[in-house]
Amino acid sequence: MTHESQPGAIRSGDEVRRMFGRITRRYDLMNRLMTGGRDVAWRRRSVRAAIGGHALGTARVLDVATGTGDLALALARGGSGEVVGVDFSPEMLAAAAGKSTAADAGDEASRHPTPAWVLADALRLPFPDSAFDACTVAFGLRNMPDYRAALAEMGRVIRPGGRLVCLELTPLRQPVVGGLFGWYFAHVVPLVGGLLSGDRDAYRYLPQSVDAFPDAATLAELMRAAGFEQATWKKLGGGTVALHVAVKGRG
Ligand SMILES: C[S@@+](CC[C@H](N)C(=O)[O-])C[C@H]1O[C@@H](n2cnc3c(N)ncnc32)[C@H](O)[C@@H]1O
């Protein structure tokens, strides 16, 4: 299925929310295992893309689909002035809040802002227009029911000239590498994910949702159509992940 026939996630918002609620406990562990720990470096790179160029401690950043909060916490530790993490899964958000409480207890963390955790749908963000200097979304957009509407809503809350940073799995269409990766993704990930999280279905959905997601060039087009300029991307993880950076137009 392509984005022409399916401009959004292959499952409904309710199904997606319940699914993440079920796999919260093992979510971070599965991320580390599936990516060989590379996801941590990709999030660090996303932080630089979002707040690079801002004076230390000044950028206001919204992390949409924050999940267990890893990117929001990396943004806070990476020099943002204010960080808000939004997710519509109460379980995922509770895990994020638990991590930041634990971090607050340490000495080092007290020098960084503590993210605010907000339970909300990415398609109806409870913030005024232009409230943020940057918006990040990591492995979240693919799960949203309407990509165009989600991009437009993120664009609404970013100030003109501010950045959207989107880290997301991207379809790998090269025959040999894509075939090997496809096999790993379609067979190994659901098996291991099923054993660890007790929810094989969630890790079957993962490769299916990537297959149905727009490729990197098409996603950049969608960003431009939603009012962003200079939508560029870099492939990471051997071409399995795309990091898009787009700037909200001033017009
Ligand atoms: C794969 S996780 C990504 C979590 C985190 N950003 C990360 O990098 O690990 C996807 C998250 O998106 C959230 N999500 C999906 N659709 C959403 C929506 N419409 N509004 C808010 N959150 C959403 C899910 O609840 C889940 O926590």
Choose the residue to mutate in 17, 47, 142 for probing ligand 1, maximizing ligand atoms within 8 Å of C-beta.
17
Counting Cβ atoms within 10 Å, is residue 70 exposed (0-12), middle (13-18) or buried (19+)?
buried
Cα 251 to ligand 1 centre (Å) = 30
pLDDT at 177: 67
Which residue's alpha carbon is at the smallest distance from atom 14 of ligand 1? 65
Q: How far is the CA of 54 from the centre of ligand 1 (A)?
A: 26
Query: Between the ranges 98-107, 131-140, 205-214, where is the mean pLDDT highest?
Result: 131-140
Q: What pLDDT is recorded for position 105?
A: 62
Q: Please tell me the pTM assigned to this model.
A: 0.93
Quote the ligand 1 centre to 159 CA distance (angstroms): 23
Which CATH architecture describes the domain 13-171+214-248?
3-Layer(aba) Sandwich (3.40)
E strands, 21-173, where?
60-64, 82-87, 116-119, 132-138, 158-169
Residue-wise pLDDT for 3-61, tens only, equals: 444 488 888 999 999 999 999 999 999 889 888 899 999 999 999 999 998 988 999 99
Map out the domains of the chain as residue ranges: 13-171+214-248
Residues 172-219: tens digit of each pLDDT: 877 666 677 778 878 888 888 888 888 888 888 888 899 899 999 999
Q: What is the DSSP letter of 131?
A: -
Ligand 1 pocket at CB < 6 A: 13, 16-17, 20, 31, 65-67, 70-71, 87-89, 92, 121-123, 138-140, 143-144
